[in-house]
C-alpha cells in the first residue's frame, strides 16, 4: 500500500508568501559559513542540517490523499486543492491510470475545492467513482459548481462518472478493503480505513475528539486498534481546542492521547491551522513528540507532521 499526502492544510488554502520565502533565504544566509560551500558534498551536508521549517515547508493545499493499492486504479480521499498536485504528479510521471475511486469525508469547501480543476474529470477515457455515506452526494456536488460562483457546471465533466452511496460499514475495493466510521464534526464527517495484506491506514480528518472516542467500545476497538498508520485532525493547541469547542477539530495532544490509547504505530498530525507558519508547525511537532515521550509505560507512538508530498509505504 502506497499513500501520498497531496494536501494537508485545514479550512483554507495557505500559499507560502513572498515574505515567508525571503525569511527562509535570510535564515540560510545567516547560518552558512565559507566551509559549507567548498564542495557539492559540503553544501548538501549544510542543507541537510537546516531545520525543516527553513529548508522546506509543510504545504498550503487543503485535504487530499492519494492511495495506491493496485496498478489499475487510484483511491483518492477528499478533493481539496491538493488534488491539483496529484494531477501534476500523474502527468509528470506519465501515469496512464484510467480509473479513480474518490471517497469524501464530508463536503465542506476545503475538501471539494480541487474537484473542478482536476483535469482527469474532463477526459472521456477516464472513469471516476464517487463514494460517500451522504445520500445527497450528487446533488451537493452539482450545487457546488453553478454559475455565477463557477464558470462551468458539473455537466461539463466528460469523464464517465458513477455515484455510490455507501451503506453498512465496509466494502471491497481494487487491491483491498475500505471501512468507514462517523466522526464528530459540524454536519458530520467520516473517517476511512484502508486495509491490504494485513496493513492498515486510517484517514480521519475534521474530527473533534470527545470522551466517547476514547471509550474502548467494540466499535472503536475494531476500527482503530493497532492500526499501522493514521492521519488525524490536530488543528489546534489544547487551549485553542477548549476555546473553539464544538468547531469540529482536535488538538495535537488529544491526537497523541488517542493514538496511545489504541496502540497506533505512526501518527501524522493533519488539517493544519491556516494561520500557522512553518516555524509554528515545527514547534507543534516538537511539542507533540515531547508529550508522547512523557507518557511512560504506554505504547510508543511515532509522531510526525503531515507534510505535503510525504509518502507512506505500508
pLDDT one-digit tens code per residue, 102-114: 999 999 999 999 9
pLDDT at 55: 93
pLDDT at 183: 97
- The H or E element containing residue 3 is strand 2-7
| Cα–Cα distance, 17 to 95 (Å, whole number) | 31
In whole numbers, what is the pLDDT of the chain averaged over residues?
95
Specify the CATH superfamily of domain 2-15+57-313: Ribonuclease Z/Hydroxyacylglutathione hydrolase-like (3.60.15.10)
Percent of the chain with pLDDT over 70: 99
297 pLDDT above the threshold of 70: no
Contact predicate 250/234, CB 8 Å: yes
pLDDT one-digit tens code per residue, 75-132: 999 999 999 999 999 999 888 899 999 999 999 999 999 999 999 999 999 999 999 9
Residues of the chain with CATH 3.60.15.10: 2-15+57-313
Using DSSP bridges, classify how beta strands 176-183 and 170-173 pair: parallel, antiparallel or unpaired. Answer: antiparallel
pLDDT at 296: 67
| Cα–Cα distance, 4 to 170 (Å, whole number) | 22
Q: Chain centroid to CA 204: how far?
A: 8
With 0-12 / 13-18 / 19 or more C-beta atoms within 10 angstroms meaning exposed / middle / buried, residue 99 is middle
Collapsed DSSP state (helix, strand, coil) of residue 2: strand
Alpha-carbon radius of gyration of the chain: 20
pLDDT one-digit tens code per residue, 264-279: 999 999 999 999 999 9
Cell for 156?
A: 461539463
The conformational region for residue 260 under phi > 0 = left, psi -120 to 50 = alpha, else beta, is alpha
The whole-number average pLDDT for the span 14-41 is: 95
Contacts of 277 (CB under 8 A, 6+ apart): 20, 53
Contacts of 15 (CB under 8 A, 6+ apart): 60
| Cα–Cα distance, 266 to 102 (Å, whole number) | 24
Amino acid at each position: 500500500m502506497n499513500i501520498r499526502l497531496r494536501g494537508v492544510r485545514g479550512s483554507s488554502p495557505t500559499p507560502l508568501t513572498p515574505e515567508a520565502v525571503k525569511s527562509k533565504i535570510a535564515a540560510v544566509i545567516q547560518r552558512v559559513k565559507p566551509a559549507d560551500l567548498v564542495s557539492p558534498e559540503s553544501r548538501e551536508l549544510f542543507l541537510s542540517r537546516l531545520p525543516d521549517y527553513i529548508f522546506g515547508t509543510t504545504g498550503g493545499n487543503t485535504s487530499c490523499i492519494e492511495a495506491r493499492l493496485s496498478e489499475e486504479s487510484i483511491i483518492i480521499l477528499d478533493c481539496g486543492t491538493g488534488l491539483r498536485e496529484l494531477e501534476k504528479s500523474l502527468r509528470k510521471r506519465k501515469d496512464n491510470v484510467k480509473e479513480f475511486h474518490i471517497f469524501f469525508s464530508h463536503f465542506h469547501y476545503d475538501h471539494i475545492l480541487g474537484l473542478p480543476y482536476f483535469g482527469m474529470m474532463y477526459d472521456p477515457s477516464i472513469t471516476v467513482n464517487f463514494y460517500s455515506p451522504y445520500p445527497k452526494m450528487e446533488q451537493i456536488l452539482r450545487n457546488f459548481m453553478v454559475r455565477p460562483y463557477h464558470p462551468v457546471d458539473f455537466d461539463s465533466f466528460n469523464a464517465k462518472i458513477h455515484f455510490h452511496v455507501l451503506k453498512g460499514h465496509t466494502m471491497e475495493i481494487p487491491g483491498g478493503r475500505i471501512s468507514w466510521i462517523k466522526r464528530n464534526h459540524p454536519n458530520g464527517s467520516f473517517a476511512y480505513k484502508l486495509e491490504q495484506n494485513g496493513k492498515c491506514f486510517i484517514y480521519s480528518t475534521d474530527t473533534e475528539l470527545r470522551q466517547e472516542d476514547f471509550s474502548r467500545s467494540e466499535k472503536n476497538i475494531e476500527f482503530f486498534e493497532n492500526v499501522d498508520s493514521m492521519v488525524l485532525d490536530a488543528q489546534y493547541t489544547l487551549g485553542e481546542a477548549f476555546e473553539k469547542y464544538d468547531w469540529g477539530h482536535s488538538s495535537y495532544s488529544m491526537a497523541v492521547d488517542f493514538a496511545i490509547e489504541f496502540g497506533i504505530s505512526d501518527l501524522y498530525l493533519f488539517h493544519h491551522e491556516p494561520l500557522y507558519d512553518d516555524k509554528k508547525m515545527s514547534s507543534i511537532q516538537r511539542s507533540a513528540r515531547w508529550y508522547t515521550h512523557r507518557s511512560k509505560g504506554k505504547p510508543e507512538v511515532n509522531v510526525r507532521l503531515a507534510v505535503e508530498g510525504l509518502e507512506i509505504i505500508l
